A and B are shown apart, each in its own frame.
Chain A
Amino acid sequence: MQSLGMQVLFQGTNFLRLLQGLWVSLKIAVISMALSILLGIFLGIIMNSKKKWVKALCRIYLEIVRIMPQLVLLFLVYFGASKHLGMNLSGELSAVIVFTFWGTAEMGDLVRSALISIPKHQYESGYALGMTERQVFLRIIIPQTIRRLIPSIMNLLTRMIKTTSLVVLIGVVEVVKVGKQIIDASRFTTPSAAFWVYGMIFFLYFAVCFPFSKAAAILERKLRD
């Protein structure tokens, strides 16, 4: 069996550990995404404000997120917070902060453009029925906006799941890191472990992301009006 390295996946608790690592990735991505959706809706509404300085501020925020690689942001928050602010943030918390910072910007921009894409007449026919601005927004505009956003939300979520692989670099043990540990531990007993472990990680990412992109495609087809 020396030639087949596959059994390394099932030695001891290896497979369970991989799944636990995957869970860490998924947890960071999903929590960040949930926060991003909430904050992004607010940001998107604010971005449509007519005030110049509000627009400028949002613009700067968006550009910062676009320019900075996520890795730099992770380092800034994780190491920066401890060195300059004296706060000892855990790796996972730092990751959630950075991913939310990133996701909120992207969601905000998506919400902003989705809001613009709702025809003016949708607002007006609400007003014509005697509805207040608040009622029109909550009952007519927001539900339509969210429907339009579902595909983009799924897309952003899968990108976030994939990007969680960066958090290894601030010491979070997620699926890729677990894989690395398994490979290192079996370097001499199973030299081909890398192939099997990374292959498995490939399938794990696929298994998590595929349902999301599939769901996005189905929803996109269903909600087209």
Chain B
Amino acid sequence: MKESSILQINHLKKSYEDGLAVLKDVSFSMEKGEVVVIVGPSGCGKSTFLRCLNLLESVDSGEILLNGKDILKDRKEAYAVRQKIGMVFQSYELFPHMTILENVVLAPCLVQKREKAQAVLEAEKLLERVGLLEKRDAYPRQLSGGQKQRAAIVRSLIMHPELLLLDEITAALDPEMVREVLQVVLELARDGMTMLIVTHEMEFARAVADRVIFMDGGCIVEENAPEEFFQYPKSERAKQFLNTFHYEALEI
């Protein structure tokens, strides 16, 4: 384990109540400022893995070290831990009864007890950055999917997380809106945000990742640099998986 690891996971295991194993001994680590993309077929446990990191799921055994401290040890610390680990979901989940600005400033004021005026100022700055400043007083239902997802990213960012988890954030979007969201993520990566990303957008994965992890059947099957992984995957299963993204005209 290197000194600078922001996140270190040792032998993480989880199974559902019916005994079905979702995560079978997952170990891996991340450096500060690194962007790691997890790809893999549906049901391979990649989303569950992210949810475990944010303590939304319980685990059977293993360690999750955030800055060297095991976050699984003390469940009472969960609230403090989640402030350091931001998470954005597939279905955006903005709070429908609040305006965009209220959505963004709720947690800083309530959880971090920051001053409202200061939080609003920062929220406006962040909203401007993702091109949503003019929507500050709109309600989530008045926004497009892409706009909602950008607002959800801002809602996480304002908490100044040390690590951002993105769980298939474009999976529910219409194709023409995927780009505007991924553009924001690319900019964050450029600014040095530490991110762990689950996605099905292979082009995007290739562009944003420092490292790609391929998961299948609850295990990490392959870990590789993006160019290597997409061009010359080492494992047979990764090859098969990547092939499913290629289409060739059927010969008749």
Contact = CB atoms under 8 A, between A and B. Distances in A.
Given A139-B106, A225-B139, A130 B97 contact: no
Contacts of B121: none
Contacts, number: 65
A121 interface: yes
Given A121-B93, A128-B56, A140-B95, 10 more contacts: A122-B95, A127-B54, A127-B82, A128-B89, A129-B155, A130-B83, A130-B107, A139-B106, A144-B95, A225-B96
Interface residues on A, range: 10 to 19
B56 A124 contact: yes
Among B54, B56, B89, B141, which residue has the most Cβ atoms of chain A within 10 A? Answer: B56
Interface string B72-91: 00000011101100110101
Contacts of B111: 129-131, 135
Tell me if A's interface is mostly helix, strand, loop or mixed.
helix
A119 B93 contact: yes
Contact of B89 (A125, A130, A131, A139): A125
23 contacts: A121-B89, A121-B91, A122-B93, A124-B56, A124-B89, A125-B95, A126-B95, A127-B55, A127-B78, A128-B54, A128-B89, A129-B83, A129-B106, A130-B83, A131-B79, A131-B111, A132-B79, A139-B110, A143-B97, A144-B95, A147-B97, A225-B139, A225-B141
A130 to B, nearest CB: 4
Contact of B97 (A121, A127, A144): A144
B143 to A, nearest CB: 11
B140 interface: yes
Interface of B: 54-56, 78-80, 82-83, 86-87, 89, 91, 93-97, 106-107, 110-112, 139-141, 152, 155-156, 159
Given A119-B93, A122-B93, A125-B93, A130 B87 contact: no
A133 to B, nearest CB: 9
Interface string A14-37: 000000000000000000000000
Contacts of A225: 96, 139-141
Interface in A124-158: 124-132, 135, 139-140, 143-144, 147
A130 B93 contact: no
A122 B96 CA distance: 9
A129 B81 CA distance: 10
Nearest to B139: A225
Contacts of B79: 130-132
Contacts of B155: 129
Interface string A105-129: 0000000000000010110111111
Contacts of B54: 127-128
A198 B112 CA distance: 62
Contacts of B156: 128-129
Pairs A-B, 7 closest by C-beta atoms? A130-B83, A129-B107, A125-B93, A128-B87, A225-B141, A130-B82, A130-B111
Contacts of A139: 106, 110
A124 B110 contact: no
Contacts of B152: 125
Contacts of A122: 93, 95
Contacts of B95: 122, 125-126, 140, 144
B91 to A, nearest CB: 6
A124 B87 CA distance: 10
B80 A130 contact: yes
A219 to B, nearest CB: 13
Contacts of B78: 127
Nearest to A224: B141
A128 B82 CA distance: 6
B107 A131 contact: yes
A143 B106 CA distance: 14
A135 B106 CA distance: 10
A30 to B, nearest CB: 26
Contacts of A131: 79, 107, 110-111
